[in-house]
Structure 1
Amino acid sequence: MNVELVNISKRFGTVQANEDVSLRVAAGTIHGLLGENGAGKSTLVKVLSGFIGRDRGQVLLNGIPVEIRTPADAIQVGVGMLHQDPLDFPPLSVLDNFMAGNSGGLFLNRRQAAKNLTALATQFNFDLNIHRQVSDLTVGERQQLEILRLLSLGAQTLILDEPTTGISADQKTALFAAMKQLVVEGKSVIFVSHKLEDVEALCHEVTVLRHGKVMGNLPIPASDRQLIDLMFGRELALPLKPQTRQAAIALQLSDIDFGDDRQTLAIADLTVHRGEVIGLAGLEGSGQQLLLLLCAGLLKATTGTLQLDSVNLTQQPYPAFLKAGVGYSPADRLQDGLVRGLTIHEHVALKTPPKGLFVDWQGTLEQTQQAIALFNIRGKPNSKVERLSGGNQQRTQLALLPVPLNLLLMEHPTRGLDIESTLWVWQQLIARCQGGTAILFMSSDLDEIMQYSDRVIVFSSGKVSQPIATATLTVEALGQLIGGRFEDSTLPILRDAP
């Protein structure tokens, strides 16, 4: 289906999210929509998919003007959108979610729906168990399910908003193959991203937005220099990771077993020094998050000891870890890191000890203004955090972390961020290291792990590797270890899970 957006404009209060944006997407093509966080990409596609109303402009499908006021309107005319966080129902099964939105009322044919789901999954080489609960799926599997649901509802144009964020390499390969298959069938795809390599690998053409305006359209392939110039209007300096490791020990794990109801992991010995960065690599769900939760005091070890600055905190409660200078930054910013409905100012007030019985609103307002300026947050003190872009949510989350910290634990610190925001985040983290903070972080981006880690710990199939100096690794070797090829390496395993 041919899609054309003509002079789309949308304002939120004082923020002009889109200004006279025009875009043409031909049937049988994948069109990239590229830009930094807050450039207006998500706003534009939410206008097309009926989640946001436009202030002015026109939408044409196959040359015919259409009115799209709701997501149901969009589906009716053949437009479906896959959001960064799939809009599904976690307590329900895969089949129940697939049937959501189908006509038929109380008399839906579950047997026929199961056949349709199985056939579509086979067609696109998606491995989905129709009886599994959606809450047990990975982000990539939830994406696959939502794509199949949208196609079953008749979507001829599919919008994907940052779809490669938080999925495995295999799931990304399957996703790209499915998108290419769709365009062979004559469907069109709008691929929203901030990742140059993804756009270059998948798209036929790209439109670049900056500050809500179209900066240019380019056929793919295009050079990184061209795309970066359009996105930012300048070159970006790469932060360098200096040697910041100190002799003092920040974290010591000894003969420790930990886990949840799905898996148990074991580490015989792990010593992390102040100023050191340890990257945690592995497929999603391999145990990296469990280690971070353990070190944050949010998960208890079943055996062994955990020491922070030589103090045994093995079975101590979470507040004891906070008092010991441990900070934790979760990947799901709005679910675990920030509070929907609260402003930036209210978040600062929450973390600031009150003076007596009352909150010092004037004092916390000044702190908020300082944090906004220091962390370059594109928002105001009264901005609600769910209205901020992903990059600005991450900046806000970093601004709320105490200073100083002895140990900083981070899940996907740059997930969903554009190039500039990613570099900015790492500049702040490196500054923390120079002040003596040790960092453990997990990431699905192997280049990020290799670039910023002093050592890497690999998680695979219930096993945990010894910390490996990045100087001795290549990205290819790291990928092999993540794939479970421990036996092909001279690197010893600490020990198998019990």
Structure 2
Amino acid sequence: MKVELRNIHKHFGPVRANDGISLLIEPGTIHGILGENGAGKSTLMKVLTGFIFADSGEIVLDGRPVALTSPAEAVRLGVGMLHQDPLDFPALRVLDNLLVGSPGGILPDRASARQALQDLCTQFDFKIDPDAQVASLSIGERQQLEIARLLWLGVRVLILDEPTTAISAQQRAKLFAALRKLAAQGKTVIFVSHKLEEVEDLCTQVSVMARGKLTGEATMPCPTERLVQMMFGQVITFKKREALPLGDPIVTLDRVTVSDWRLEVNDLSLELLAGQVIGLAGLEGSGQRLLLQALGGLLRPTAGHIRIGSQDMTNRAYRVYLQAGVAYVPANRLAEGLVAGLTVTEHVALAERKQPFLVNWQQAGQTAVARIKQFNIKGTPTSPVEALSGGNQQRTLLGLLPLNLRLLLMEQPTRGLDMESIEYIWGLLQERTRAGMAIVFASADLDELLDRSDHLLVFFGGRVVGPLDSRLTTVEQLGELIGGKGFA
């Protein structure tokens, strides 16, 4: 299906999210929409799928102008979207999620739907159990379910909004193979991303957006420098972490064992020094999150001791860790880090409160303005956090951190951020480490782990190798360890 967007305008108050965007996307292609956080990419795709209405402009499918009044209408016309966070029902089983919204009425043909799901899984090498509860699936598997559901509903234009934000390298490879197969079948794939290397690897045509406008188009392959210039108006230079002098021990783990119902990390001893950055590598669910939660007081160890400075923190409450200067930035921003429905100012008031019942709203508003400027958040003090892009939600989380931290724990700290934002955020974090703050972070980006860490811990099924000197470790060596090579 050929997709045309003609002079699309969409404003949110004074913000011009889409300012006269015109695109032509041919069938049988993988068309990249590239741009930094807040460039207007997701807004444009939501207009194309009926989630929001354009202020003006026209959508044309196969030469016929259409009025998309809802996502259901868009799907009926053959246009479906996989959002950053899959739109599913975790409490239901896989087959029930497939049937939600289907045209089968109150008595859908479950046997036919089960067979269709199995056929699609076989075709695209998806491994999804129709009877599994969606809550038990990884993000990558939930994406596969949503893709299967959209294809089952007859979608011919598949839009993916930052689909690799929360999946492993193996799941990304499987996703890309499925998208290439769909394009070869004549379907139209629109791939929205801020990651240059993924667009270069996958797409045949790329349109670049910045500040709500279309800044250029290119047929792939295209020089990276040209794409960066269209995105940011300048070439971005990347820096590795400087070797900084380390201080006294901040955190000591003495033969700590931590577990949940699925996994156990045994007998881990570690000393973390002031100013040190330790990266946690491994496939999703290998134990990194367990360690971060134990270090933050969110999960109590079943054995061993945790000390911060000279204070034994074993089995102490989360608030005691906060008082000791420990902060935790989770990967799931809205579910665990921010409060949907509250504004940026209200988040600042919560984070900066000095008294339990009284709020200085004037001061909170002034602080919100300062943090928005400092962290380059594309929003206003009155913006609800759920209205911000994923990258801007991450900047907001980082902007809420106290200034006097001793230990910062982060899951996927730059997930969803563009290159310029990544450099800016890590620059701010490095200044904190100069002042003696230690960082432990988990990431699926091997280059980030190697470039930003002093040392690495590699997790595989609850077992741990390290610490490894990141400056003496290659991407190939790290990849092999993550895959289990070298574990006894």
Shorter-chain TM-score: what band?
A: over 0.9
Residue 15 (1) aligns with residue 15 (2): yes
Aligned to 1:73: 73
1:417-496 equivalences under 5 Å are 417-487=417-487
Aligned to 2:160: 160
Runs of 5+ in structure 1 lacking a partner? 488-492, 494-498
Shift in Å at residue 302 of structure 1?
A: 0.4
2 CA distance for matches of 1:27 and 1:217? 17
Helix, strand or coil for the counterpart of 2:33? strand
> What amino acid maps onto 1:198 in structure 2?
E
Q: Deviations over 1:416-461 (max 9, x none)?
A: 1111111111111111111101100001100100110111101112
1 CA distance for matches of 2:301 and 2:26? 55
Helix, strand or coil for the counterpart of 2:466? coil
Aligned partners of 2:247 and 2:436 also within 8 Å: no
Shift in Å at residue 357 of structure 1?
A: 4.5
1:200-239 equivalences under 5 Å are 200-239=200-239
Residue 126 (1) aligns with residue 121 (2): no
Percent identity over paired residues: 51
2 CA distance for matches of 1:89 and 1:466? 39
Aligned partners of 1:245 and 1:273 also within 8 Å: no
Shift in Å at residue 244 of structure 1?
A: 2.4
Aligned partners of 1:81 and 1:160 also within 8 Å: yes
Q: Deviations over 1:154-198 (max 9, x none)?
A: 000000000111111111111111111111111010000000110
> What amino acid maps onto 1:389 in structure 2?
S
1 CA distance for matches of 2:400 and 2:414? 16
Aligned to 1:496: none
Q: Give TM-score scaled by structure 1 length.
A: 0.96
Aligned to 2:343: 343
1 CA distance for matches of 2:154 and 2:245? 56
2 CA distance for matches of 1:349 and 1:460? 40
Shift in Å at residue 395 of structure 1?
A: 1.6
Aligned partners of 1:32 and 1:199 also within 8 Å: yes
Helix, strand or coil for the counterpart of 1:314? coil
Q: Deviations over 1:281-319 (max 9, x none)?
A: 011111111110000000000010001112110110001
Specify whether residues 356 and 296 from structure 1 end up closer, same or farther in structure 2 by C-alpha distance, changes over 3 A only: closer
> What amino acid maps onto 1:415 in structure 2?
R
2 CA distance for matches of 1:122 and 1:240? 43
Aligned partners of 1:239 and 1:427 also within 8 Å: no
Shift in Å at residue 267 of structure 1?
A: 3.4
> What amino acid maps onto 1:432 in structure 2?
R
2 CA distance for matches of 1:65 and 1:368? 43
1 CA distance for matches of 2:341 and 2:399? 18
Aligned partners of 1:7 and 1:56 also within 8 Å: yes
Aligned partners of 2:267 and 2:304 also within 8 Å: no
1:286-325 equivalences under 5 Å are 286-325=286-325
Specify whether residues 273 and 245 from structure 1 end up closer, same or farther in structure 2 by C-alpha distance, changes over 3 A only: farther
Aligned to 1:241: 241
2 CA distance for matches of 1:367 and 1:425? 19
Helix, strand or coil for the counterpart of 1:95? helix
> What amino acid maps onto 2:189 in structure 1?
V
Shift in Å at residue 376 of structure 1?
A: 2.2
Helix, strand or coil for the counterpart of 1:328? strand
Aligned partners of 1:83 and 1:160 also within 8 Å: yes
Shift in Å at residue 344 of structure 1?
A: 0.9
Aligned to 2:395: 395
Shift in Å at residue 355 of structure 1?
A: 5.1
Aligned partners of 1:253 and 1:267 also within 8 Å: no
Residue 169 (1) aligns with residue 174 (2): no
> What amino acid maps onto 1:461 in structure 2?
G
Helix, strand or coil for the counterpart of 1:80? strand
Shift in Å at residue 378 of structure 1?
A: 2.0
> What amino acid maps onto 1:3 in structure 2?
V
1 CA distance for matches of 2:356 and 2:314? 33
2 CA distance for matches of 1:240 and 1:281? 18
> What amino acid maps onto 1:125 in structure 2?
D
1 CA distance for matches of 2:103 and 2:417? 38
**Bigger shift: residues 162-171 or 146-155:** 162-171
> What amino acid maps onto 1:216 in structure 2?
G
Shift in Å at residue 206 of structure 1?
A: 0.2
Aligned to 1:372: 372
**Bigger shift: residues 104-113 or 211-220:** 104-113
**Bigger shift: residues 239-248 or 46-55:** 239-248
Q: Over aligned residue pairs, what C-alpha RMSD do you find?
A: 1.2
Aligned residues: 488
2 CA distance for matches of 1:329 and 1:382? 22
1 CA distance for matches of 2:251 and 2:356? 35
> What amino acid maps onto 1:168 in structure 2?
S
Aligned partners of 2:250 and 2:308 also within 8 Å: yes
Aligned partners of 1:81 and 1:159 also within 8 Å: yes
Aligned partners of 2:254 and 2:304 also within 8 Å: yes
Helix, strand or coil for the counterpart of 2:439? strand
> What amino acid maps onto 2:391 in structure 1?
G
Aligned partners of 1:354 and 1:360 also within 8 Å: no
> What amino acid maps onto 2:132 in structure 1?
R
Aligned to 1:103: 103
> What amino acid maps onto 1:387 in structure 2?
A
Q: Give TM-score scaled by structure 2 length.
A: 0.98
Specify whether residues 357 and 127 from structure 1 end up closer, same or farther in structure 2 by C-alpha distance, changes over 3 A only: closer
